[in-house]
């Protein structure tokens, strides 16, 4: 009986995944912006399990210049994916975030709060997009996620079901 080498087994598995149509998925509803009881905006991240995540950022661009981050922050470190909640413009210091531009939600800007699964091959991302107008519709105890306003409980179930 012939043994398959490790490389051949990996290639066979990869070919099977490609032929089956499975592969990296697009953005998942694993990120939300909550308005807490005091009215403050809170980022809510729900990575799948203990996945390593990367690319944590809040990217805010003017409608007339959508390619340049002018309001937000970036955290370049990879993190073990644990649930996180923090003020929208104040990610945990342990993430070594770099602030970018003005640190508040600005009218005329479109924002994206996101992260991606880092290993083994960036299989999914968690993203929420919003404007100041979108967040004005979020009442205390609600979140903006998946293009709409919902309760925090609905978001938690949506994120869980997405993993």
Task: Say what the pLDDT of residue 25 is.
Answer: 61
Q: Is the pTM of this model over 0.85?
A: no
Asked whether the predicted pLDDT for residue 114 surpasses 50, the reply is yes
Query: What is the band of 145 on the pLDDT scale with cuts at 50, 70, 90?
Result: very high
pLDDT in tens, 4-37: 333 232 223 233 333 333 444 668 999 999 999 9
Task: Say what the pLDDT of residue 122 is.
Answer: 65
Asked whether the predicted pLDDT for residue 38 surpasses 60, the reply is yes
pLDDT in tens, 53-103: 888 999 999 988 878 889 999 998 787 767 899 999 999 998 899 999 999
Task: Say what the pLDDT of residue 66 is.
Answer: 79
Task: Say what the pLDDT of residue 24 is.
Answer: 45
- Which segments of 6-162 are extended strands (E)? 27-28, 31-35, 41-45, 52-62, 71-75, 79-80, 84-87, 98-101, 109-117, 125-131, 142-145, 148-151
Q: Taking residues 48-57, what's their average pLDDT? A: 88
């Amino acid at each position: 009986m012939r043994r398959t080498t490790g490389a051949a087994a990996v290639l066979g598995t990869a070919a099977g995944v490609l032929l089956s149509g499975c592969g990296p998925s697009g953005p998942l509803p694993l990120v939300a912006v909550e308005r807490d009881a005091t009215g403050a905006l809170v980022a809510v991240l729900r990575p799948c399990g203990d996945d390593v995540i990367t690319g944590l950022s809040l990217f805010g661009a003017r409608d007339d210049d959508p390619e340049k981050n002018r309001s937000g922050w970036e955290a370049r470190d990879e993190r073990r994916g644990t649930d996180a909640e923090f003020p929208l413009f104040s990610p945990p210091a342990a993430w070594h975030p770099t602030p970018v531009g003005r640190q508040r939600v600005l009218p005329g800007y479109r924002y994206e709060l996101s992260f991606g699964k880092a290993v083994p091959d960036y299989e999914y991302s968690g993203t929420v997009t919003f404007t100041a107008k979108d967040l004005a519709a979020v009442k205390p105890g609600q979140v903006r996620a998946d293009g709409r306003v919902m309760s925090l409980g609905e978001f938690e179930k949506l994120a869980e079901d997405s993993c």
